[in-house]
Amino acid sequence: MRDALLFLQDHMLVCDGETLNEAIEEVSRQIGWTFELADPDRSEMRVGGYVSADPDVLIKLML
């Protein structure tokens, strides 16, 4: 996992070009939940930006 994918102390997730699969794995590791993509073809899609690390917010964004 690249160092660019981080959970910050202010509860933000930072992604900088990781695959969606890598981001989901990190979220799962941090919050202890398991996620599975409905469309596996999206697993290699690159993601970037800042988002709340709040589990409820993350789930809404992934739906």
Q: What is the pLDDT of residues 1-40, one digit of tens each?
A: 444 455 555 677 788 888 989 888 887 887 788 888 889 9
Q: What does the domain layout of the chain look like in residue ranges? A: 6-62
Q: What pTM, to 2 d.p., does this model score? A: 0.67
Confidence of residue 43 (pLDDT cuts 50, 70, 90): very high
DSSP string, 14-53: EEEEEEHHHHHHHHHHHH------SSGGGGG-EEEEEEE-
Distance of CA 3 to the CA centre of its chain: 13
pLDDT at residue number 46:
93
